Amino acid sequence: MASQEDVFKKLVAHCKEYGFVFPSSEIYDGLGAVYDYGQNGVELKNNIKKYWWDSMTLLHENVVGIDAAIFMHPTTWKASGHVDAFNDPLIDNKDSKKRYRADVLIEDLIAKYDEKINKEVEKAAKRFGDSFDVELFKQTNPRVLEHAKKRDEIHERFAKAMNDNDLAELKQIIIDYEVVCPISGTKNWTDVRQFNLMFSTEMGSTAEGAMKVYLRPETAQGIFVNFLNVQKTGRMKVPFGIAQIGKAFRNEIVARQFIFRMREFEQMEMQFFVRPGEELKWFEHWKQFRMRWHQALGFGEKKYRFHDHDKLAHYANAATDIEFEMPFGFKEVEGIHSRTNFDLSQHAKYSGKKIEYFDPELNQSYTPYVIETSIGVDRMFLSVMAAAYTEEQLEGGDSRVVLRIPPVLAPVKACIMPLVKKDGLPEKAREIMDELKFHFHCAYDEKDSIGKRYRRQDAIGTPFCVTVDHDTLNDNCVTVRDRDTMQQTRVAIADLQKMIDEKINMRNLFKEIVK
Ligand code: ATP
């Protein structure tokens, strides 16, 4: 069986070969952690965004959208804490000239001790068979105890150094435990420095005094600074939410794993404003709603889990991630955070404006608390592709690669194919296409054998192939082939649109989510 790493490599290659994702400016050898979406990728991405947007704004009459600019007044980022604290600690190896995140090097070191312990346990389990008591073994085996002691020691020093922002101590841990650079194999490290992840640029000509502005590292602040605008003009009553989809930029130090960690990416965020004291109830509500949104796609419950944060950001009083099982393990796709009234209060303080809500029911003014749901479009895209990518052995020794993308998200919904390129079949196929194209995205293909054409559509995840044959001219029926079951059914042309719509319309998923 292919290893997970191989599967991931194949998936990346497939994304490129079939027009989903290309490296940015590839003819110049690409740009680190920046990607372009191709002709099929953009359709899938747009469908993901629509699925999210409609689930927020159609299903909730108290959630409205905005589209804020990427550039914001620089004080925004002072107030939000990003100028001072949106940092990662970095360290360079002087020999390989490679850059690492010091915290990640230490986390990997801790993981190595965990691995060592697991290996001892596995070995012993084999030796002792059924009578093996894991807990007893872990509490008594001298080698395991020694590894556990080391791991706890490092963990304790690491947690303290991170909390105290003690960069010298982070380096000392790396030195004391002899962490080597995986490339050069040496321990020749620079000091640890804080690295701010925000990109900056200049706005205005230098003659009139240029201003340093940032490319937003999250979309959320565009919502906070517009809180009063939306609340007043929309006459919104707490609780209510503001949703937004847009680009965000982070100068990630180590950018690996394809579109999982990018320097330019897209977020779908919703801030839900509530009465102080009711935030944990709403936190639970949105946690469940967001999980149902994911699960309605049908990849199976086992693919998802919640991961609660042990260490909360100073402004948060509850936080959890929705993790998805990627080919490289369970990874965060979405964060759900209870952010208290931190952001609105900070913006009130820095702008000198009163940012409050008068609650007519309580007859009192307050700064609302916020529940945020924040999901990366690109990570969602990757999770869909990873779960959809399937290599299948067929009867008769044949094989196929099929993307089992949920039909509601598939880039192309139906491909119309005349069996042969003559006898009036192409004209009939075009006639069908000309009607269906008003309803959903269709493709037309008349080249090569039907078998080859099916494979091409399987590879981009098209749920239906519609074949026009000689009988069609007499009975006005077509053969519809299902992507997943490969079963073929005869359908009247008059029923085609309704039949396909039933499978690809998001309304069925939405009904499931709000149940
Ligand atoms: P991580 O710990 O993986 O860096 P984060 O906790 O910093 O992520 P948030 O700030 O909570 O992420 O951002 C919300 C969402 O935005 C994430 O769940 C993820 O889907 C997406 N996201 C964040 N950073 C990136 C990135 N560099 N590339 C792609 N998506 C990202």
pLDDT tens digits, 324-368 = 999 988 999 999 999 999 999 999 999 999 999 999 999 999 999
CATH architecture assigned to 412-513: 3-Layer(aba) Sandwich (3.40)
Residue type, 9: K
Q: Is 511 exposed, middle or buried (0-12, 13-18, 19+ CB in 10 A)?
A: exposed
Give nearest CA residue, ligand 1 atom 31.
376
Which of 52, 80, 265 is the best mutation target for the ligand 1 pocket, counting ligand atoms within 8 Å of the beta carbon and taking the most? 265
> Tokens representing 173?
């841990």
Q: Are 478 and 489 in contact (CB under 8 A)?
A: no
Distance CA 246, CA 426 (A): 42
Cα-based distances in Å from 298 to 303, 325, 409, 460: 10, 14, 12, 18
CA of 89 to the centre of ligand 1 (A): 17
Facing residues of 332 across strands?
Answer: 323
Cα-based distances in Å from 50 to 56, 297, 377: 10, 14, 11
- Write the DSSP string, 13-79: HHHHHTTSEEETTGGGT--TT-EEE-HHHHHHHHHHHHHHHHHHHTT-TTEEE----SB--THHHHH
Q: Are 269 and 290 in contact (CB under 8 A)?
A: no
The distance from CA 153 to its chain's CA centroid, rounded to whole angstroms, is 34
Q: Are 77 and 214 in contact (CB under 8 A)?
A: yes
Which of 251, 379, 380 is the best mutation target for the ligand 1 pocket, counting ligand atoms within 8 Å of the beta carbon and taking the most? 379
Q: Residue 53: count other Cβ atoms within 10 Å of its Cβ.
A: 16
Verify whether ligand 1 is closer than 6 Å to residue 267 (CB atom).
yes
Distance CA 389, CA 386 (A): 6
CA of 376 to the centre of ligand 1 (A): 6
CA of 109 to the centre of ligand 1 (A): 23
This prediction has a pTM of: 0.90
CB neighbour list of residue 460: distance below 8 Å, 6 or more residues apart: 18, 19, 20, 40, 403, 410, 411, 412
Distance CA 340, CA 351 (A): 19
Question: What is residue 2's predicted lDDT score, i.e. its pLDDT?
Answer: 63
Distance CA 216, CA 198 (A): 7
Structure-derived torsion over alpha carbons of residues 60, 63, 69, 73, reported in degrees to the nearest 10: -160
Verify whether ligand 1 is closer than 6 Å to residue 261 (CB atom).
yes
Question: Would you call 463 helix, strand, or coil by DSSP?
Answer: coil
Question: What is residue 210's predicted lDDT score, i.e. its pLDDT?
Answer: 81
Question: What is residue 58's predicted lDDT score, i.e. its pLDDT?
Answer: 97
Pairing of strands 477-482, 329-338: unpaired
Verify whether ligand 1 is closer than 6 Å to residue 378 (CB atom).
yes
CA of 335 to the centre of ligand 1 (A): 8
Instruction: Mark the ranges of the chain whose per-residue pLDDT is less than 50.
Output: none
* Longest alpha-carbon distance in the chain: 82
